[in-house]
């Protein structure tokens, strides 16, 4: 196991009409089909479907939240790409 894990990862959250997030983060929580997934820098590569819930991520000491209806995610050690359908009340 490598001791050279990144401190942050690049998160992109992309919806049908807009990119909601494009920044460096320290943690990501995704609503999986069987429960929430916690993603930290250095995570092994993973492709997963997402369920309805809140996508949340840690940036600059606070946790930001985005309600989603579902989607899928591609996870890499230094990057998380999330393609989602936003909840109706999300602007």
Instruction: Give yes or no for a contact between 82 and 75, defined as CB atoms under 8 angstroms apart.
Output: no
- pLDDT for position 86: 86
* Residue-wise pLDDT tens digits, 14-51: 999 999 999 999 999 999 999 999 999 999 999 999 99
Q: Which residues contact 88 (CB under 8 A, 6 or more apart)?
A: none
Reading the block at residue 64, the tokens are 């930001």
Instruction: Give yes or no for a contact between 55 and 13, defined as CB atoms under 8 angstroms apart.
Output: yes
- pLDDT for position 3: 67
Q: How many residues does the chain have?
A: 91
* Residue-wise pLDDT tens digits, 66-91: 999 999 999 999 999 999 998 765 54
* Domains of the chain by residue range: 9-86
Q: Which fold has domain 9-86?
A: ATP Synthase; domain 1 (2.60.15)
Could you tell me how many helices (H) and strands (E) the chain has, helices first? 0, 8
């Amino acid at each position: 196991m490598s001791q050279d894990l990144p401190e942050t990862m690049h998160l992109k959250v992309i919806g049908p009409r807009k990119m909601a997030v494009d920044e460096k983060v320290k943690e990501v929580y995704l609503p999986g089909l069987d429960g929430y997934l916690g993603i930290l820098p250095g995570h092994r590569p993973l492709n997963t479907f997402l369920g309805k819930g809140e996508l949340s991520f840690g940036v600059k000491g606070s946790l930001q939240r985005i309600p989603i209806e579902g989607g899928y995610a591609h996870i890499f050690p230094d990057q998380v790409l999330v393609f989602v359908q936003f909840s109706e009340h999300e602007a």
